[in-house]
Structures are given as structure tokens and as C-alpha cells.
Amino acid sequence: MAAAAEEAAGSGGGGSPSSARRRLRIISGHLRGSPRAPEREALSSNPCKAQGGSAGPASGSIPKKRQELLKWNGWGYNDSKFIFNKKGQAEFTGKRYRLGGMILPTFKEWIEKTFGASLEHKTTSRASLNINDVPPSIVNEAFLQDLRDTKISYSQDAEDRVFRAHGHCLHEIFILREGMFKRIPDIVIWPVCHEDVVKIVELACKHNLCIIPFGGGTSVSSALECPEEEKRTIVSLDTSQMNRILWIDEKNLTACVEAGIVGQDLEKQLAESGFCTGHEPDSMEFSSLGGWVATRASGMKKNIYGNIEDLVIHIKMVTPRGIVEKNCQVPRMSTGPDIHHFIMGSEGTLGVVTEVTIKIRPVPEYQKYGSVVFPNFERGVACLREVAKQRCAPASIRLVDNAQFQFGHALKPQVASIFTSFLDGLKKFYITKFKGFDPNILCVATLLFEGDREKVLQHEKQVYDIATKFGGLAAGEDNGQRGYMLTFVIAYLRDLGLDYYVIGESFETSVPWDRVLDLCRNVKERIVRECKEKGVQFAPLCTCRVTQTYDAGACVYFYFAFNYRGISDPIHVYEQIERAAREEILANGGSLSHHHGVGKLRKRWMKESISDVGLGMLRSVKEYVDPNNIFGNKNLL
């Protein structure tokens, strides 16, 4: 440690005492968990204190009482939603997003034409949560007394419990609008640090309880649903108050962060020190670092920054057997199978991730959006393949098919001036008349470049030169920026659709390059066929985009929706169709999931996906780490 102190003080004696102490704290953080670091307790700069202590949770964007800010039966913020106003025009409410307060003049026509929907046909959903519908909390008094002794915050309030009983699958939101879950958590507990989690897991083992970890609540795999047959007390262990950055190591470009922090807060706090992770999943406003680890998440800028498995340096997880972590924080180890890969993707079945050390980078000095129009989807996919082959992909490159292009166009706000409208008209004339692009076939790629300004401009030219070889035309920065802005508001559309008999969902896969086009075509055709066979009276919307590219393949993301008027059990019909679509994906060489995870929704295909022996290996780990099934959410296995 003496050598570490000298290094911390800086060469030549130029370091200040405060910088030396800060460096020493960072180094002690690297050594935490090592039996050969007796100084670590004294050096730890982040002791776990009770509520109200100086080392308590940071002030995050999402409050502890989620109902104060978020919808109880839909996506996102209470003040943000799509509506049809008194004039019958679509608009997006609130001021949190750039689209807020804007009129969408063509959206009503699009939804009527696409789905056969009508403003005259409106559904009714419950305006508020009826406490009398909520299953009672069943918690034994001995456990409650032990819990009180720990001084860890908890709640048996009905609203708190319902908010943590679900993710955001279609059937979960439909249940909230129409009825209530048969089984929900009996108690919500809010640890504020790793040591609190250790205490909670020890109590759960002592009293034989079931724990379901809760991060941001954005799951789309039924991972948070409580098993109806579970008779034990179910604890929702909400990590949201574990939301601090414990240290930033500017020399190694790493940061140790508590697992409950949500994406927007992580980036905001890192930016104050001039850093970022670059990990930006579509759900980053609400999803948590621990959730990213538990589901093997991917972000839209993974081409530069990597997926979560590329960012993670060290993980600390509490299990019924004890704490799992490596003894050092290094870029790579050759010590048998990587234990991180037992943890990443474990979906709350083995324990609770409490702290994660991740790679960070300086905030890029320059950012530039772009877009390219292609004559058809085939040319667009060929271009993305070439970009991947030349390993020159920008931070993000996403290709939408024509149906999704039309969808995005319908969400275009009312223009600010006649001049803007005139320019749009000129662009449309040039692309459709002069260049001969068919507006019903063309597709669009949106681009995002980041980094040093000079390198970004060189990179941009390289990508546009490749696009030109495949018939692509540059379509401007504005269209690219709009595409990424829509990423964060598009999830709000499902709630509007449900108000007018339209149900919809997204699902994704990864697939080799030579199967991308076949898979996209076959899945769309299968969905149309299944809808017809299941009695859906209106043609469905089925659209896809290529969202992430790799050397050997790509991620394909589907949106699927239909008008369910005349169908007595729309959720059952929807699930049958989605199941058929998933079968089609697997038959066409696609994966079970690229980044959404498995949960309970897709676990029927796990044996097919990883083999009988592979599934047995996962079960063996589960049986050793959690022999009494304390983490009994029934995901994956």
C-alpha cells in the first residue's frame, strides 16, 4: 500500500494531499473483496449507513415512490402521453421530450388507414388503482421483527407492491387496465447498499422467503411477474436506492457503481466528471445498471462502446451461498470459465447484483447525426453488411423498413414554417421523381457519429461513400436526429393504441447476415397468415428494423400490432401469434433473444436454444448457489 500511496501522490511530488487520498480510496476499491487487503475497511470511502446517513442514496430521477412520477398502468411519466385532442388531432403531452406539446397532423389518418381504427371506437380502462382488488400482503411477524431490527426501509402498501409486480409486456399492461394480478409481492424492501442486501438475503434464508429483485421495472419478458403458485412470502427487493457512483478511476477509465442506478442518472453523474459509459438502451431513462447485467443488455451505440458484457470489469453479487466476486479488477483473466457469464443473463435467479465496475470514456467532443435513403430494404441491408465488413460502423446505424418509415413519417410534427414545408417538398420530389425511388418501397437508415471532430467527419465520408455504392442518398441530419428522438417516445404509443382497440408489442432476435432478408420476410408473412387464421378482421402492422450490426450478423427488431375489435380474448390470440412468430424466427436461424432476455415468456424454447446439456449446466449452478430456491422468480429454467 505504500507504493500505491506514492503512485497516488503523483510522480515528482506534484500531487496534492487530497488527490493522493482520492487515488488511495480508488485503489482500495480495486482491492475490496481481497483477503490480502486488511486496510480496506479503514480506506472504504462509502460505508453503508442507515436511512438519513451521509452515505445514503443519491437523489435520482425516479423517486422511491414510483407512483409520484410514473404511470401505474402504462409506460413512462404521468405527464407524457399521446392523445387525440378535442379537434381530433394527435399530440404528445408534457415537456420532457422534444415532441412535447406538438401536433401530429397525419397520425390520425395513418392509424385509421393502417388498423381500421376509429376515434368512435374507444375502449375503457380503469382510471385508478382499486386497492380492494389488490391481493393482501402475507408476511409472518417474526420476519417483520427481524427486518425492523435492521432499520432497512420497507412497505406493505398496495400501490408500492403493484408497481413492482410487473414489467411492460403487453399482457401485463392489459391486466392492469382490465383487472388485477392474482399474485403480487407481499412486501417491498429498499436496501441502500451492498451490506443491506446481505442482511435481506440472510433473513430470506432464515425465514424461507422468496426474493424477486427489482431494478427499473422495464422488463419485457414477464421476468417480474410473481409465480401464482408461490406460497411463501414474496419480497420485492427494490435496488433503486442503491444509486451512487462509489468511485471513478480516471487512470484506468473505470467506475464502480451501485447496481440500482438508472441509465439517465448514470450518464448525468458521469458527465459531471467529463465521462460516459455510452451504453444507451432504448429504456435508459428507467432501466438500471443491475438490470442490464441481469439480462445481458445491449445499447444503441454498442458499435463504439460495446454491449454490457464488453463494458463490465467486475461484478459483486449476493447469493444464498454468499458473495460472488473476483479478487481483482483487471481487463481479462484466464481462470477457467468466466464467473461473470454465470451472472450476466441470470435474470434474478441466482442472487442480487449490488455493485458493478464498468469501463468509462471521456464524453465525446463531437456528435453528428445523419440519414440515408435507400431504394429498397435489400439495398439497405447490403449496405449495412458492407459497413460491418469494413468495420467502420458509426456509434449507431439503424435501418428501418418501409412500413416503419411510413410509421415514423406519421409521427412528424406540424411544420414550423411554410419554408420548411417547401424544403420537405423539394426533397420528396428529388428522391421520388428525379431519382425514381418508390415511396412505398424505399427505406431509411439513421446514423449517429461520435468522437473527435476531424475523425467523425472522415468517418462520415467513409460511410456515405459506401452507401452511395448501394444506391443510397444522404437525407440530412434532421431526419437522423428525429429517428433517435422517436426512440424514447415510441413506447408511449402502445397506451394510445389500447385506448382504440389496437394491441401491439415488440420482439427481437439476432441472425447471421445471409439470413437477415429471409428471416424478415418470413416472419412478416407468418404473422399475416396467423392473424387471418386466428380471426383478426383487420390487416396487422408488421414492421422491422436492423438495429445493431456485428461481423457475423445483426439484430433485427420487430413491431407487430393489430385491431382486436370483434375478438373476445385478444391477449390469448396475440400470444398465439407471437409464439408462431418466435417459432418462425428460430426456424430461420435466428436467436431466442438478442437483448430482451428470456424471463418466463420465452423459456419454453431454452432447451432448443442452448441444448439439453446446456440447460442442465444452468440448473446445476442454480441448485448449488440457491438450493432452497430463495430467488424463485422461475425465469429461464
Q: Residue 316 contacts by C-beta under 8 Å, 6 or more apart in sequence?
A: 33, 194, 323, 324, 325, 353, 354, 355, 356
Catalytic: which of 557, 559, 564, 574? 557
Which residue from 180, 88, 90 is spatially nearest to 126, judged by alpha carbons? 180
Strand order in the sheet with 210-214: 153-155, 187-190, 234-238, 210-214
Cα 64 from Cα 191, distance rounded (Å):
11
Element (H, E) at 103: strand 103-104
Q: How far, CA to CA in Å, does 21 sit from each of 41, 459, 516? A: 15, 41, 53
Cα 302 from Cα 338, distance rounded (Å):
22
CA atoms within 13 A on the CB side of 237: 35
- In single-letter form, the type of residue at position 395 comes to A
Cell matching residue 612? 439439453
Cα 319 from Cα 350, distance rounded (Å):
6
What are residue 535's phi and psi, to 5 degrees? 85, 15
> DSSP letter string over 561-575?
EEE-TT-S-HHHHHH
Q: How far, CA to CA in Å, does 211 sit from each of 137, 287, 293? A: 15, 19, 18
Please give the torsion angle defined by the CA atoms of residues 397, 398, 399 and 404, in that order, rounded to the nearest 10 degrees: -150
- Write b or e for each residue in 517-549: b if 16 or more Cβ atoms lie within 10 A of its Cβ, otherwise e: eebbebbbebbbebbeeeebebebbbbbbbbbb
Cα 349 from Cα 10, distance rounded (Å):
44
Which residue from 141, 435, 634 is spatially nearest to 426, judged by alpha carbons? 435
Q: Is 557 a catalytic residue?
A: yes
Q: Residue 368 contacts by C-beta under 8 Å, 6 or more apart in sequence?
A: 448, 449, 450, 456, 457, 460, 477
Beta pairing, strands 234-238 & 210-214 = parallel
Angle at 49 between CA 44 and CA 55, to 5 degrees: 65
Residue 438, burial from CB neighbour count under 10 angstroms (0-12, 13-18, 19+): exposed
DSSP 231: -
Cell matching residue 198? 446481505
Length of the chain: 637
Cell matching residue 406? 411510413
Cβ-contact 287, 369 below 8 angstroms: no
The count of other CB atoms within 10 Å of the CB of residue 596 is: 23
Catalytic residues: 557
